[in-house]
Amino acid sequence: MIIELTEEQIRHKEEFRIFAESKVLPFAKEHDVHERINPKVVQDIADMGYMGSMISKRYGGKQWDNITIGLLNEEIGKSCSAARVLLTVHGMVAIAISRWGTVEQKEKWLKLLAEGKKIGAFALSEPEVGSDAKNVQTTVIDDGDSFLLNGNKKWITMGQIADVFVIFGQLNGSVTAFLVEADTPGFSVKPMRGLLGAKGSMLAELHLDNCRIPKGNIIGKVGTGLTHIGLSCLDYGRYTVAWGCIGLAQACLEASVKYASERKQFGDFLSSNQLIQKMITEMTVNIKAARLLCYQAGYLKDQGDPDSIMETWNAKYFASIITSKVANDAVQIHGGNGCHDSYPIERYFRDARINEIIEGTTQLHEMLISRETFRQAL
């Protein structure tokens, strides 16, 4: 496996860094306070073509390799976690249509998604259903030339501004995926506020009350909602979240190094304290280790290796837990200043915690990774 970036990837990474620092970072605190992404940031991301990073050039997308997509998520995640999750959920919808959609669905949606003229959101979770996705309670009735959807979805990232949703529901006892447009009669959105971190993620509850959609809106086939569509989307989601974690952890590290180099206690800079040095060392090594796991997952994806799925689990698991630790240590290094919003550290701390839950909890990852380890050993 080659882990050195190509010249093109290096160029992209620098472009992403400059964009994130100039167009995203200045709005990060605003997103957190107002629990909403500034529309200008969304438009700027769209104008750069980043909404189509995972979409084929045939439909106006960038069709970037997975390492480049990872670098994009790292740099945006370093500046603002809420802006970064837009790339994840929007990409999940694009992946669903690209891999499993009909010709008509691809022609209708992919160009609009690539240009950011339409925003996508992924709707699997429900008030009573999280990790146990096969037991979604949303029902789907075959009603002649259309389907009728009834149920509720919860914790839907970007649900407040999305134009099209991938909705999962039970059709004939099997979980199936559907495309539902936000302006469909019987479909309504209720904004959610009060999230711990990544507060600008614009979460929503979705309500489907005899929501009628054409039969042409089914994605894939009946019963392939989780085994095909869900698996593809969540794999992409975990991969991008892992890279976003690296960006967030890197932001914590850089802020901590700067603070420790400028702050004095007992006549000496914090950077001279061996306990602080130990924290910085652990931050540095853990971030590098997480980045290497992400490189490996991305490399295997680009090679079409089926092992990329489990390596993505590993990367997301490790990156999310070390980011929580890095953020926790960053607060400790900053002391009281780390607990006040005059510094971004308290936001980083809250944002980091979210990553151990989204796209599969830490505990779910532990069960699946250990299960696969035992399977390979037998």
Task: Give the catalytic positions in this structure.
Answer: 359
Residue 237 backbone phi and psi in degrees, to 5: -60, -45
- Beta-carbon contacts of residue 152 (< 8 Å; ≥ 6 apart): 126, 127, 138, 205, 206, 207, 208
Residue tagged 């009834």 (tokens)? 150
Longest dimension (CA), the chain: 79
Residue 275's CB is within 10 A of a number of other CB atoms, namely 9
Query: How far is it, in rounded angstroms, from Cα 83 to Cα 169?
Result: 28
CA distance 149 to 184: 11
- Hey, what amino acid is at 112? L
Phi, psi (5° rounding) for residue 226? -95, -45
Nearest to 13 by CA among 363, 307, 291, 309: 291
344 and 251 in contact (C-beta within 8 Å)?
yes
